[in-house]
Amino acid sequence: MSEYLPGLAGVPATKSNISDIDGEKGVLYYRGYPIEQLAKHSSFEETSLLLLDGELPTTAKLAEFDSQLRENRQVKYHIRELMKALPATGHPMEMLQTAVASLSMFYPGNECLTSTEMCEDLNYIHNMTVKIIARMGTIVAMWQHLRHGYEPPVPREDLTYAENFLYMLNREEPDPLLAHIMDVCLILHAEHTINASTFSALVTASTLSSPYSVITAAIGTLSGPLHGGANQRVLEMLNDIGSPDKAEAYVDEKLANKQVIWGMGHREYKTKDPRAIILQGLVAELMEARGGDVNPLMEIALEVERVVEDRLAHKGVYPNVDFYSGILYHEMGIPADQFTAIFAISRTAGWLAHWREQLADNRIFRPTQMYIGSEPREFVPIGRR
């Protein structure tokens, strides 16, 4: 192919059987299962194992995987001390990238990747996967306390992944509904084909770099506002708008200036993101449980969605996953700058599933370019320029 396509739009970069999207119909599948069914019937632990192994696990396999995750939640005190040395004003995604990158120094185990031969040790791959997924939630929750000068709580093995994360974040056992909502959010964000951060993970994996480096690269990519960082920007946007009656003028001004309306539109979907539909329903469920009062930000969001649909539906621009996730996390009492870090906790399952798939048939990524620079020319000494 000699045609230049900005952003590699529509260019197949790999083959995968992990997830699939039908953008015209607004459908997302994990290993062939619709996201709606997984959100309703599964758990983050079960969905993670589905993504990793390819099939829904038996009761025994799920119990073993869940037990392994619980047993690996703690991190060495060295990690905690390293995090204490980071600036308290640092963004959680910057902290997360630093902490995950350091894990390989404290938890060695990359022997499988020291040669040019592809790693075929599935036990090694599984064990590394368990350790990384288990510790992601711990690290993100620890930062919430460390950046304020307090020691973080110790992870608990008697709680589910979602329950333990909320417990560590707030120092108290979560309300069952909040734990359920967090579990569903983790499922929804766990995988989404070859997006920017997953592509970063694949490129890094193809060099046989360590899985810690693979996840570190993906975290850096996810942190950008055009990817995972958009959910925080959505909340800031809604606060800037201030009230539903100002939404129309805000949207029209942004469109007139060709500026981004955060949380709107997706490269793949030409209709409303199926994850956004589920998240919107979770916001409604939480509001109903709290007496039916509508979050003011939700009222603004609904009006923004209405206006955008009126103006841009013909172009296939609808809410994406980031549009309602920020409102939901805000209503759960989670700081806005932690939104994308929670995204990373979840997406680690998908990144590692792609890491495993890449190793199974590895070839280093080496795309070409179209050179548009100067023709060959002679060097001119500095005194003659």
**Domain shared by 158 and 275, yes or no:** no
Report if residue 64 sits inside a domain: yes
Report if residue 268 sits inside a domain: yes
Last residue of a domain, one of 314, 331, 348: 331
pLDDT of residue 226: 81
Number of neighbours of residue 68 by Cβ within 10 angstroms:
17
Domain count, the chain: 2
Report if residue 153 sits inside a domain: yes
**Domain shared by 31 and 169, yes or no:** yes
Rounded CA separation 145/98 (Å): 17
Report if residue 47 sits inside a domain: yes
**Domain shared by 172 and 81, yes or no:** yes
**CATH classification at residue 31:** 1.10.580.10
Give how far the C-alpha of residue 183 lies from the chain's centroid of Cα atoms, to the nearest Å: 14
Q: Is 284 exposed, middle or buried (CB count within 10 Å of its CB: 0-12, 13-18, 19+)?
A: middle
**Domain shared by 216 and 356, yes or no:** yes
Report if residue 341 sits inside a domain: yes
Q: What is the DSSP letter of 10?
A: T
Annotated active-site residue 266? The verdict is: yes
**Domain shared by 273 and 139, yes or no:** no
**Domain shared by 31 and 141, yes or no:** yes
Q: Which residues pair with 21 in a beta bridge?
A: 28
> pTM higher than 0.85, yes or no?
yes
Which strands sit side by side in the sheet containing 27-30, from one edge to the other?
19-22, 27-30, 33-34
pLDDT of residue 111: 60
- pLDDT in single tens digits along all 385 residues of the chain: 568 888 887 788 899 999 999 999 999 999 999 999 999 999 999 999 999 999 999 999 999 999 999 999 999 999 999 999 999 999 999 999 999 999 988 886 666 665 545 466 778 889 899 999 999 999 999 999 999 999 999 999 999 999 999 999 999 999 999 999 999 999 999 999 999 999 999 999 999 888 999 999 999 999 988 888 888 899 999 999 999 999 999 999 999 999 989 999 888 889 999 999 999 999 999 999 988 777 788 999 999 999 999 999 999 999 999 899 989 999 999 999 999 999 999 999 999 999 999 988 889 999 888 899 999 999 999 999 9
Catalytic residue selected from 180, 273, 322, 354? 322
Annotated active-site residue 183? The verdict is: no
**Domain shared by 53 and 142, yes or no:** yes
Q: Which residues pair with 20 in a beta bridge?
A: 29
**Domain shared by 256 and 123, yes or no:** no
pLDDT of residue 364: 93
- Indicate the residue type of 5: L
Query: Do residues 301 and 238 lie in contact, with contact meaning Cβ atoms separated by under 8 Å?
Result: yes
For residue 198, what is the enclosing H or E element? helix 196-206
Which range of residues forms the domain containing residue 322?
Answer: 230-331
**Domain shared by 68 and 177, yes or no:** yes
pLDDT of residue 292: 78
Catalytic residue selected from 266, 273, 330, 354? 266
Rounded CA separation 83/315 (Å): 45
**Domain shared by 109 and 171, yes or no:** yes
pLDDT of residue 113: 63
pLDDT of residue 291: 86
**Domain shared by 86 and 36, yes or no:** yes
What are the E-state strand segments in the chain? 19-22, 27-30, 33-34
pLDDT of residue 60: 98
pLDDT of residue 280: 95
Report if residue 382 sits inside a domain: no
